[in-house]
Each structure stands twice: as structure tokens, then as C-alpha cells.
Structure 1
């Protein structure tokens, strides 16, 4: 199915869900000026096409550290290694790029021991892994994962969680909070009675926990929908070297571009990484020429088209 099969109302519904993944059907119906039954029918149809609403922890708010790992492998082993990484509970997305010899994955760690076990011991000793690059995400300017988040339909500043950079103590979680994260990772639109049954709490108690987690910036909701169904066939990773004096400006500018669902300042030679979603290679070229080229301080840029997504939008449970 291509984007022509999705009407304007369907795309508007995706837009509204991106703004608030748990918005009730009554609110969505009011915004779309249709009945709740119509909204429910369109929502269920989009779900059959792969739509997911996922509750995600915001790592920086919970004392977690997020890493972008870049692996170069031999061509015969890349697929196997990618699937092994996808099976890990600490990876949230895994993609194949650059001729099938390069892998990217996002890893969330709680402790230095967890970090070292994977980055210093497990991966470097894996057969057929030629090199390992680990980049700590210092500041997330837009988005929460590598997947498309409806950013072509709305301002990127509302696409997922954005790290404001404010330094606050990690939010402490109780057993109810942890159960809610687990349930919302499976279905971000689980009802209050369903969440109450899972936590052993009343719906009103669950609502208070949700309001606290969202109000404290520890929980966000992401929309996962295949961009190909909306006519976007070219996904690519952009690695940039930016002069330090311009890093914040360039990152915040990228966060306003509808082509960019994710951008972050990272450690390493390339200090800014972004994910871009485009209709085709011509649109990617125009973006690099007209949108990236004029930005100040960009010293170099490397593009790596994503060939296949092995895992995406799988949040680590705090």
C-alpha cells in the first residue's frame, strides 16, 4: 500500500496521535469533526497497517545513559549480529546500513558495569566485528528513536521526547511506576482499567501516577508508523562534524526540520547525528544542498542510507 491509500483524515489522525498518544477518541473526534466511531474505525485500520503507540522512558530523567553504537562487520555476519543485538533487552533499535556491513543500535545502560560489559567485552570479542564505535548521546534535540514519528506532519519539536538539558535529580520510581512502563511499552493506549488490573491499583491511582510521570518528564509517547506507507522511501543516517560554537544552533535548527525525526549531540569525531526521512534520493540531495549546506559551522557530513530496520521503538524498561 502506498500513501495514496491513506486519506488526509488518516494523516490528520496520525498528527493528533503524535501530539498526544493517549488522547481519548472523544478529543480526536472533536478535532477531526467526525464521530468517535469513525475515529475508532480509522485507528483500528491504521493499527492493521502497523501503527503502534508506545510509552517510553526518558533516559536522562531516570538516570539512564543512552549510547549510539556503530559497528562495522564482515558482510556474511552483519545480519546475524544485528539479530543478536535485537534480542537484547537494552537495545531500542537496530538498523543495517552502508552496503550491509555497518550496523547502528541504540543502547540504554543503567550502570558503568552494564556499559563496560557490552562495549568493552562483549562486542569487541564478537567474531566478524571489525570495529566498534560507541557514542554517548549528550543532548537529544528531537525525537526519541530512529524510527519515523510523524514528523512530516507536525513541528518536530513535538515529536517525542526532547532533552532540555536541565540538570535535575533522577526521578525515583516505585513498583507501580515500573509496571506502568512495562505495560505502556506494549500498548501506549492501554486503558486505565487495564493498567489498574496490571498494577493492582485503582484507575484513579493509575491516573495520578501517569500524570506524575508525564509531568516530571520521565514518560513520553511515540508514534511508530511505516514511512513507506506515506510515500517516504529513503531513510538515512546523517553524521556531521560541527564546530563547537555552532553545535547547539545546528542541533536546534535540525529539530525544526520536518525531515528530521531524530537529532542528537554525541561524543566522537562526528559530534552530531540525525535521522532523515525522504521520499527519494532526489529529495535527500535537495535537503543536503538547500537546508544543510547553508547552516553555519558544519565542517563535514556523511550520509549512510538505512537498508533495513531489524528492531525499532523497543524502549528499555527502567
Structure 2
């Protein structure tokens, strides 16, 4: 994705992206109603956003839906000049949920999801720590996730877009419980696999590819969504929406104040992700703001005023390579590497 393309996005493009973050599988007609454009124009612009790599839609099993998992926050130092090589190796590992290149005391920050629980962690890190260029590897258990907001950009046009009333709930989306593995069968898994690379494939395309009935695919998809067994993820660079500062904060909290501080931070639209970690009674927080000035305002006027906050460490995100187990479609172009081509698509 050429950087120039981000500079040429129109307000309509940004509204389409916001609508896709609310529901990545909404029809172009429904999105046109949300953003106030014609169906033909919205369809053409939306398909261009997807084909160019500005946005990517993926449908994935919800975390923990296929059995118990433990997640670890990993901070990595690399030998000089090897950061991208190490990051690319980690991008390809199926258990790495997200990875980003950062400023500060570490080179990379990632989340590693261990299926079957933490007892399996030593087997995984033995392989990953041996990646050439890794010099230091620090792990911290993620104990509880308070917030994961997939439509963090909705705040930009919330007052002028015709979003469904239910959209307000997703601004502070949190884990809704663990989907029981018994809710899945092989056909359900096949449907999600088909939608992983292109979450906007039509039910007919999925059905034809799997040799199933279209109505059966649709019914199974809706059931999985209602049970909270799947997530629809819209990947988009924050800069495409004018959000110029993505920051990871480790907030140190006074004993006994963890829950109160977490609930206060959870209410801020700028907070995309919030979780409690085991080390030092702390909260791990991702904040997305339009500029460094807005970040400064959040820290000085909001974070620093919360009772129980003792301090924080921060790292600016420079390059996001993977989120929600899905490789971002733009990072390779940003560093001059050839794009990894995905499957051809038939959009909803």
C-alpha cells in the first residue's frame, strides 16, 4: 500500500472504514446508508480500500473458543539491525496474536497465546527465543482483559453517521465470556477458515467452496456470532483515519486500586485495549490519539489524575505487523518489502 494513498483518502473513505470497523461484513448498501453515500460510489470506494490494502477484513474464532488458553505479553530486545527480521519470524508463528515495533527500552512488543495453558509455554519459547537476533525476552502473564475495542475509530464520526443503536455498545467491547468448544463442529471450523483471509466473502462463495448449502453456511455463521464464538476484525492503519499516535502504556497501580483504575480507563474512547498483567500490579493499555499533543493531554489531564495510578512506562508504536492473529496488509510496503498476496475475493 503506497503511503501516498493514505494522504489521498477522502472523508467518505474514512466513513466507510469506520462503518467496516463497526461491522466488517455489512453489505455495501447498509454501509452506504450509514455513511450517507450512494451504493455505487460506496461499493467502488470500499472495494478499492480493500484491494489496495488500506483495510482488511478477517473472521476468526474467538479467543479461547477452542479450549483453554493463557496469553503472555512479551517484550523483546534484538541485536542491532535485526528487529525486522525477528519481527517477520514472529509474524509467521500461529500463536503470536499481535506484534509491533516500538520505541523505548524494547524493540518489539508482542502477545503470545498458549493453547492448553501456561504449562505449554516453555515448549513455545524455546523455539521462539532461538530466533536469530533475539537478545532479551521478557514475559508477563495477562491475567484479565477489560477491553478490546475493534471499532475504536467510531468516535470520529459518531454524531454524523447513521450507525445502528447497537454500535454504542461496541465502543467499549470486552470479552463476553468463553465460547465452549462443543459449540463448534468441523463444518463450522471450515467456514471460519474460509473467511480468515477475506472476511467479506459471500455466503454463496463460502458454500460453493465447501460444497455446502448457502442457507446452512449463513445459519451456522449467525449462530457462531450470537454465541460469541467468532470475531470479525477490520485491520486498518490508524494513520488512515488521522490518528497519528499509537502508544502502549504499562500503568503501575497502587495495591487495591487495580479494578477501580481499570474501570476508569476502560471508559475512555482512546483506549483500544486494556488488560491486567501479573507483574508489578500493573495494567497494559493501548491508546490511540490523533496526535502527540492529544496523547500529552490524555496523560496529563486523564491518566495522571486517576486515584491509584503510581506511574507508567510508555512505548510509541512505530510499525504494527500483526493484530488479532492476522498480518497487517501494509507493513511490508512501509519498509520496502514485497507484499504477501492474499486470496482473491468476492465481497459482500
- Give the TM-score, by structure 1 length: 0.85
Residues of 2 paired with 1:302 and 1:89: CA distance?
A: 28
Q: Which residue of 2 aligns with 1:118?
A: 124
Is 1:31–2:34 an aligned residue pair? yes
**Aligned with residue 41 of structure 1, among 31, 34, 44:** 44
Instruction: Work out the CA distance in 1 between the residues paired with 2:169 and 2:301.
Output: 21
1:214-235 CA-to-partner distances (Å, cap 9, x unmatched) read 1111112122111112222222
Stretches of structure 2 that go unaligned for 5 or more consecutive residues are 159-166, 328-348
8 Å contact from structure 1 (residues 156, 261) kept in 2: no
The verdict on how the C-alpha distance between 1:300 and 1:219 changes in structure 2, with shifts beyond 3 A counting, is same
CA–CA distance in 2 between the matches of 1:228 and 1:241?
29
2:194 to 176, 180, 183: 183
Cα distance between partner residues in 2 of 1:283 and 1:32: 26
Whether the 8 Å contact between 1:179 and 1:198 is mirrored in structure 2 is no
After the TM superposition, which residues 1-318 of structure 1 pair with which residues of structure 2 at under 5 Å, given as runs? 1=4, 5-47=8-50, 48=52, 50-63=54-67, 64-98=69-103, 101-112=106-117, 114-119=120-125, 121-126=126-131, 128-143=133-148, 149-150=152-153, 152-153=155-156, 158-159=170-171, 162-164=174-176, 166=177, 169-269=180-280, 271-315=282-326
After superposition, the CA RMSD in angstroms is 2.9
Q: Report the Cα offset of residue 15 of structure 1.
A: 2.4
> 1:60, 1:31 → 2: CA distance?
32
CA distances 1:124-181 after superposition (whole Å, capped 9, x unpaired): 4555534322233332222278xx85254358851595214x4674444211121122
Q: What secondary structure sits across from 1:150 in the alignment?
A: helix
Residues 86, 311 of structure 1: 8 Å contact kept: yes
Q: CA deviation at 1:99?
A: 5.3
User: Deviation of residue 40 (structure 1)?
Assistant: 0.5
Q: How many residues align?
A: 312
Cα distance in 1 between the residues matched to 2:54 and 2:6: 14
Q: Does the C-alpha gap of structure 1 residues 167 and 226 become closer, same or farther in structure 2, counting only changes over 3 Å?
A: closer
Structure 1: stretches of 5+ with no match in the other structure: none
TM-score by length of 2: 0.79
Report SS of the residue matched to 1:209. Answer: helix
Structure 1 Cα separation of the partners of residues 25 and 172 of structure 2 = 13
SS of aligned partner of 1:59: coil
Query: Residues of 1 paired with 2:206 and 2:61: CA distance?
Result: 17
Q: Is the 8 A contact 1:123 1:132 kept in 2?
A: no
Write the deviation string for residues 294-315 of structure 1: whole angstroms up to 9, x where unpaired: 2221122111112222333434
